[in-house]
Structure 1
Amino acid sequence: MTFKTKFTISLFAIVLSFASCNTEDVAEQNTDALSKNQTASPSTSKVGVCSEVPGWASQNGGTTGGGTSSETTVTNYSQLKSAIENSSVKVIKVTGTITVSARLSLQDQTGKTIYGTSGAKLVSTNQTKDGSGILSVKRCKNLIIRNLVFEGPGAYDTDGWDNAILDDCQNVWVDHCEFRDGVDGNFDIKNKSDYITVSYTKFTYLKAPRAGGSGGSDDHRYSNLIGSSDGATADRGKLRITFARCWWASGCKERMPRVRFGKVHIINSYFNSSVSNKCIAAGFEANIRVENNVFENVKNPIDLMTGLTAVTVTSGNVFTNTSGNKAGKNTAFTPPYTVVPLSTSAIKSDITANAGATFSGNICGSF
């Protein structure tokens, strides 16, 4: 064998060695949050891997949104309305603060991404029954909504609209958003919606509630409703929703979330609203898995309502300075997917640092 050949083989071996080390380093970073006895499965989402969506939105063919389609940048209401209503626009880039003068409607579309650059906000100041709300999404499939702040004018019970609502939608991933100060609620999911994941998202009320609304509640800081009524029986077998690494923060009073019918997985999330009456509420035929969350300074972390199916509260949940019920009832479903778990000691610091519109843009892969 010639010296040149030997040198080439040696050099190739060194390159392979470095590649192996780098691969191990990356794998180590991606599994950093795993507990010592757990490993990530191939279907588990990782940082930077857009095709590996966490939770229920990874099922039923997955969720990709607008993918790598060309972006349409919007900086005002008329541009945003036009882009949302145009089914040919697949990726919308929101820049700056946009005042929503009339509720936006996204209907009957498939494959779309709406995301914000750093600091992007959609703001509504309307507290009327018909004019409130920021975004209504109906009969849509394969959507991604990321890195946006949805800011309402504050809770005022006029039987108005939420900051955002999903109605009869499938495969939606809401990631790194913040929903604050909704009139009726912050973000509701209803009417046969299915395969939904909400990750690294913050829910809060920063403005004092306004009393005297026609809806009857003087303090309607009720954040998230899953399923609209006990009579909405078409929701049976639907409303499969994951809340992963979310934060129910200051000002939330109830519905964190309040569930009917759905198979809802709440994992590695943080609850610390000191004004809470109740946090997770299991309503009619609700099937909820409450896994490794932190409840701090809240009342009634788990509210077991009449007619629930099952609530499993795993041993990994932490309750600090809480009062009221902390136990489940019956045995809830087992998810068909894997979410990379945070260690319990890391949940609070991770969520408070990363939940909300903390990205600089459309960065894929939350976990």
Structure 2
Amino acid sequence: IDDASPGYASQNGGTTGGAGGTTTTLSSYAAFTSAVSGDKAKVVVVKGTITKTADQVRVGSNTSIIGTNSNAILENFGLLVKEASNVIIRSLGVRKVKTDNGNAIDILTVSNPFLHDHYKASLIGHSDNNKAEDTGHLHITQNNNYYYFLNVNDGINTRQGVQVLIESNAFVGSKEPLYSTDSGYAVANGNDFGDGSNSALAGTLKSAPYSYTLLCSVKVQSAVVGTAGQTLTF
């Protein structure tokens, strides 16, 4: 539970979250905001749904936040990881949050979530206005993720000079599964683009600095759909 791998989160010494710290199980907003604050190692276990109309709850460094099962949900508020490191968020539902963004995030793995019913579920490197802050950062791995939105046209849009390595993905019903805007680049291997095609500019990122095992694209749908998301139970 307290180890984030594979992906970029395994780099720079790895990501262990609150391993070795105190464990707190809770079900209220007040207890949650208190438990995730500060930089001491800690594991916060969310039991049930916590509802609070609020902005974001700031999460300190060296923190693991884990949901006990599919009923562990944060509703009407989100999480802010700012000027913090070594954070793991796992098997936790988050819904009805305000839209927001983050800058200069680095060394991140997003794995096994079910992201649905929103057509802007993952925006990385959004504007030239943040070029000075973002350049040299935004090293992000996304793997085994299930994105679902009815009648969406877009898949992956690489932009603003970004280099993306895209391997063994399956796209269903996307007219533009992979394309470029504003000089974004991609290397694509072994993907199933469905009825669409890859129109992205050819990139140069051909490998990642960590090891991983790929699923064949024909196996992706059966392996990911139904298993991604809140599947942890304890």
Instruction: Using structure 1 for the length normalisation, give the TM-score.
Output: 0.59
Within the candidate set 105, 124, 139, 1:193 is matched to: 105
Cα offset for 1:69? 2.1
2:62 alignment counterpart: 111
1:191 Cα deviation after fit = 1.5
Residue of 113, 122, 130 corresponding to 1:232: 130
Instruction: Give the counterpart of 1:328 among 177, 200, 204.
Output: 200
The reply to whether residue 313 of structure 1 matches residue 212 of structure 2 is: no
Identity in percent = 31
Q: Name the SS of the counterpart of 2:107 in structure 1.
A: strand
Cα drift, residue 68 of structure 1: 3.2
Distance 1:51 1:230 in 2: 34
- The structure where helix makes up a greater share of residues is 1
- In structure 2, give the amino acid aligned to 1:141: S
Residue 285 (str. 1) matches residue 184 (str. 2): no
1:10-53, CA deviations, whole angstroms, 9 ceiling, x for partnerless residues? xxxxxxxxxxxxxxxxxxxxxxxxxxxxxxxxxxxxxx8x5561
Q: What secondary structure, in the 3-state scheme, does the structure 2 residue paired with 1:354 have?
A: coil
Aligned runs of 1:94-105 on 2, under 5 Å?
Answer: 94-105=46-57
Task: After TM superposition, give the deviation of residue 338 of structure 1 in Å.
Answer: 1.4
Match of 1:161 in 2: 99
Tell me by how many angstroms 1:110 deviates.
Answer: 2.1
1:199 Cα offset (Å): 0.5
**CA deviation map 1:318-343 (0-9, x unaligned):** 122x23x4243223312111112123
CA separation in 2, counterparts of 1:152 and 1:101?
9
Change (3 A) 1:241 1:275: same
Equivalence map 1:131-146=2 (5 Å): 133-146=77-90
Structure 1 match to 2:30: 78
SS at match of 2:45: strand
1:221 matched to 2:119? The reply is yes
CA contact (8 A) 2:154 2:174 kept: yes
Task: Give the structure 2 partner of residue 40 of structure 1.
Answer: none
| Alpha-carbon distance between aligned partners in 2 of 1:227 and 1:306, rounded to the nearest angstrom | 12
Match of 1:122 in 2: 74
SS of match in other structure, 1:66: coil
In 2, Cα distance between the equivalents of 1:330 and 1:298? 20
Separation in structure 1 between the aligned mates of residue 38 and residue 108 of structure 2, nearest angstrom: 23
Gaps of 5+ in 2: none
The answer to whether the 8 Å contact 2:155/2:176 transfers is yes
Q: Are 1:64 and 2:8 an aligned pair?
A: no
The alignment partner of 2:221 has SS state of: helix
Which structure carries more relative contact order (alpha carbon 8 Å, separation 6+)? 2
- Cα displacement (A) at 1:100: 2.4
For the Cα contact (< 8 Å) 1:196–1:242, is it kept in 2? Answer: yes
Unpaired runs of 5+ residues, structure 1, are 1-47, 125-132, 154-159, 163-187, 206-219, 252-273, 362-367
What number of residue pairs does the alignment pair up? 231
The answer for the alignment partner of 2:213 in structure 1 is: 340
Aligned to 1:350: 223
Q: Offset at 1:359?
A: 0.9
Q: Work out the CA distance in 2 between the residues paired with 1:248 and 1:358.
A: 16
Partner Cα distance (1:353, 1:303) in 2:
27
Contact 1:198 1:243 in 2 (8 A): yes
Per the alignment, do residues 330 and 247 of structure 1 end up closer, same or farther by CA in structure 2, a change over 3 Å counting? same
Cα RMSD for the two superposed structures = 2.0
CA distance in 2, matches of 1:356, 1:116: 11
Larger Rg: 1
